[in-house]
Chain A
């Protein structure tokens, strides 16, 4: 599985499936984390889990859409970011009792990877449905990352008295 992903070309189905997998992993990671963190910051982990789940659903709906079905077998260039993307799936660098700042930093790092992945995919696909889909997903990630950044600033950089 891993070696396949590393090959130069892949089908759209493969790429999107990999992305969905990435989100699925994240979702279960956050879900597992929920009971481990103290209640005051649990909202954060729950929010992140919810966001990932929404992602998974969105991608699965995408695969099922009739327009998309015709393009699933299209060959596309696998992005460079994919390697780090895969690493992120494999190696969550978060301790057992993380605080809010750690959770946020972790989530930001993941968003960054996803963002780069989609941006590259969008750049690699010629204008058309797939291009639009990846552009949309890239925008989606940008928005989510911006939300997280703002939250990070609010929580960590409150500015002081």
Chain B
């Protein structure tokens, strides 16, 4: 038997009888902790419907359901949560690419209808929608990489005196890390004009299967090597990763695949047409991305395709518009070689309208595709633009590519704020560096930096190379010497400050401050403001016969003009962009192919 203490001390428990109860009288309505993981909230304006929440949910509690129409970078889908399955782990919140999905600290809700517990947060109104408290992940998203792998580039001093390619391309290790960041939502696919299977080829990189990657690229784009370098990468503006970090370097990853497949292997993988020749003939005018893509598709369908090119080399604007430091000619040649290997005949140095007329093309072929691009450089036509010392950027770029001698004065002024302006500025800078040992290029643009048309990286690289960029200047006059031995030569550009370029509706309505006038000294003025197609090759009769739509050839969705034998594609129809031209080429080829097929049926 224990001591007396052992018998008595348990009775001390009785003291609790007079204590206030510790239980909460009404637990319904007790507020949870600030960071509690309760019912979800979704900021549906911020949400892009990428579906990462659905993918990560191990309970399959989330369905992506349509809430609005899809637009670039937003599928219009929003997560609908089945709370019968939700385990409140909040991985969906942690993985959310935009930070739109959060959890409130509300957790009590009684309802007799089980289906009430399936709803779309942020769409189906709930009392906790505006609660400030609840689970918010700390910092940015951590479950997918947020930072882009930096691309190796030639340093400015190493690149300014030559036309060597600037971008090094990813190593396998770098590409693997960058490819790993992709969440495979596929929002980019809709935005890509050619609807390339972006998540799939990025997955191929992760698997290290470059053959597969290349195969995927060729399913949608025979200019993957070119696009891997100079694509306008609209896809990256739709990338889910951009909302809380850098978008995936989709363009560089595409290039990385091509870089890792030898030329021979590439020809092997792509192969040659697997169908019998159809004996149908197609003429394509212009060997740019649209024309050659259409040629590639049509040749693979078994048709005899001839591409006519006015310049003495194929490639169109890819060759003659884009400087070599951005797109080495060898890269372009490799893409074209695969197309030529499909049996496409490319006749260079043949100017339609001169050596061969459209009528003859029409007579000798079953279909004609017009893909002539935008090769006429626009002029501002301000006073002084007529006469020597004033050039258009397009023309100069073409002459540089063709190896022609171009004037390289010590001080050049470029009018324009787009990528063409940067291209010519940087090209001239290189030529100046070689000839004079110093760069003297000034770019004046109507737009201010906030509204610049050129890509950010183009602007940055231009500045690194010593190009001076002055934004928000309206050109007024090319000033010429009025007397002396340089009489008539260009003295510089007179400009006014632009106080605003767009009105409150975002429309072009330039306002100048005439008091802020400047003279930018220069021996040469280059206009890089815009481009036009040379439709004069069509001839008067055809021009008159065709339907037009506000300055451009009227075409149906498939690119067919009002003349049943004539299709039009590329920049001249849809504006300047390689990938859009590629998409256009596919579209036209499909339409032409369908027509030829129908012809074949009739003949039989």
Contact = CB atoms under 8 A, between A and B. Distances in A.
Interface of A: 38-44, 100-102, 105, 146, 149-150, 152-161
A160 B508 contact: no
Contact of B416 (A42, A44, A155, A160): A160
B552 A40 contact: yes
A158 B530 contact: yes
A42 B552 CA distance: 11
Q: Which 7 A-B pairs have the closest CB atoms?
A: A160-B420, A160-B418, A153-B508, A159-B418, A159-B453, A158-B530, A150-B507
Contacts of A40: 535, 543, 548, 551-553
B419 A100 contact: no
B381 A160 contact: no
Given A100-B551, A101-B378, A149-B509, A161 B503 contact: no
Contacts of A146: 503, 507, 509
A149 B453 CA distance: 18
A48 to B, nearest CB: 13
Given A100-B551, A105-B381, A155-B551, A160 B543 contact: no
B510 interface: yes
Interface of B: 317, 321-322, 374, 378-381, 393, 416-421, 423, 446, 453, 503, 507-510, 528-531, 535, 540, 543-544, 546, 548-553, 575-578
A44 B551 contact: yes
Given A40-B535, A42-B548, A101-B381, A161 B576 contact: yes
B546 A39 contact: yes
A158 B553 CA distance: 17
Most chain B CB within 10 A, of A43, A150, A152, is at: A150
Contact of B419 (A101, A153, A156, A161): A161
Q: Is the interface of A mostly helix, strand, loop or mixed?
A: helix
A41 B536 CA distance: 12
A149 B417 CA distance: 18
A152 B543 contact: no
Contacts of A38: 535, 540, 543
B508 A149 contact: yes
B507 A149 contact: yes
B395 to A, nearest CB: 13
A145 to B, nearest CB: 8
B387 to A, nearest CB: 18
Given A39-B543, A149-B509, A156-B529, A161 B577 contact: yes
Nearest to B422: A160
Contacts of B553: 40
Contacts of B535: 38, 40
Contacts of A44: 550-551
27 contacts: A38-B543, A39-B543, A39-B544, A39-B548, A40-B535, A40-B552, A42-B548, A43-B549, A101-B379, A101-B381, A105-B381, A149-B510, A154-B508, A155-B551, A156-B529, A157-B446, A157-B530, A158-B530, A158-B575, A158-B576, A159-B453, A160-B418, A160-B419, A160-B531, A161-B418, A161-B577, A161-B578
Given A101-B381, A149-B508, A149-B509, A156 B530 contact: yes
Contacts of A153: 508
Contacts of B575: 158
B378 A156 contact: yes
B379 to A, nearest CB: 8
A105 B381 CA distance: 9
A153 B378 CA distance: 11
A35 B575 CA distance: 27
A160 B551 contact: no
A115 to B, nearest CB: 12
Contacts of A159: 416-420, 453, 530
Contacts of A101: 378-379, 381
Contacts of A161: 317, 321-322, 418-420, 423, 531, 576-578
Given A38-B543, A39-B543, A161-B418, A152 B381 contact: no
A156 B507 CA distance: 14
A118 B414 CA distance: 38
Nearest to B394: A160
A160 B548 contact: no
Contacts of B446: 157
Contacts of A150: 507-509
Most chain A CB within 10 A, of B423, B548, B575, is at: B548
Nearest to A102: B381
B505 to A, nearest CB: 8
Nearest to B416: A160
A152 B416 CA distance: 15
Contacts of B393: 160
A157 B453 CA distance: 10
Most chain A CB within 10 A, of B420, B421, B508, is at: B508
A149 B423 CA distance: 26
Contacts of A155: 530, 551
Given A43-B548, A156-B380, 16 more contacts: A40-B551, A43-B551, A44-B551, A100-B551, A153-B508, A157-B508, A158-B374, A158-B530, A158-B576, A159-B418, A160-B419, A160-B531, A161-B317, A161-B418, A161-B531, A161-B576
